[in-house]
Amino acid sequence: MKIKIKKFYYGDIPGDEAGESIASPTITNDKAWPLWEIFIRSKQGLDHKHAGSLHAADAAMAIENARDVYTRRQEGISIWAVESKNIHASNPDDAESFYEPASDKIYRHPGFYQLPDEIKHM
């Protein structure tokens, strides 16, 4: 029998080629823990940086989970946790009107100004 093989990739096995095993009922009615965004300060003097997300039942647990998940290799010394639903983000459709107007304001950058060579550092 010639098996018809479709192209697929590591970790990407198409459902139609992969035999379905017998489905068993799983419990889906339990309330999932909310998603949190985790920000980590890697050392004193640096900003908190987005590290990733995780699930936790409340804020205290989110911070502890972040400690256990994201600082196992001494990646941080301070953790912020924000419930993902509380993050407000700009819309990519606004990108042109938001960010492009800044592109011609070159006078905001120090390189715009020509100074005599005698002034070495300014």
Partner 1 sequence: MNPLIQFTLFLADSNLILSQKNAEWCGHGPILEQDIAITNITLDLLGQARYFYQYAAELMNQAGHTHITEDSLAYLRTEREFKNLLLCEQPNGDWAQTVLRQFFYSVYQQSLYQQILQQSNSQLSAIAEKSLKEITYHIKWSSEWVVRLGDGTPLSHHKMLQAIKALWPYTGEFFTPTDFEKEIIPIDYEKLKMQWIDSVQNVLEEAGLPMPQNIFMHTGGKLGSHTEHLGYILAEMQYLQRTYPNAQW
Partner 2 sequence: MAIHDLENAFQQKIDNEIKIEPKDWMPDAYRKTNTRQISQHAHSEIVGMLPEGNWITRAPSLKRKAILIAKVQDEAGHGLYLYSAAETLGSSREQMIDELHSGKAKYSSIFNYPTLTWADMGAIGWLVDGAAILNQVMLCRTSYGPYARANVRICKEESFHQRQGFESLLVLSKGTKEQKEMCQDAINRWWWPSLMMFGPKDSESTNSDQSIKWKIKRKTNDELRRQFVNMIAEQVKLLGMTLPDPDLKYNNQTGQYDFGEINWDEFWNVVKGNGPCNEQRLQARRKAHEEGAWVREAAVAYAEKKQSRQPNEKTDAA
Of 75, 68, 79, 80, the closest CA to residue 42 belongs to: 75
Residues forming contacts to partner 1 in the complex (CB under 8 A) are: 33, 54-57, 60-61, 64-65, 68-69, 72
Answer positive or negative: Cα dihedral of 96, 98, 100, 101: positive
Residue 31 binds which of partner 1, partner 2, none (CB < 5-8 A, kind-dependent):
partner 2
d(CA 69, CA 14): 31
Q: Find which of partner 1, partner 2, none residue 64 binds, CB within 5 to 8 Å per kind.
A: partner 1
Chain positions 18 to 77 lying near partner 2, rule: CB under 8 A, are 18-24, 26-28, 30-33, 35, 52-55, 57-59, 61, 69, 72-73
Residue closer to partner 2 by CB (options 4, 105) is: 4
The residue (of 88 and 109) whose beta carbon lies closer to partner 2 is 88
Q: Which residues contact 65 (CB under 8 A, 6 or more apart)?
A: 36, 54, 55, 56
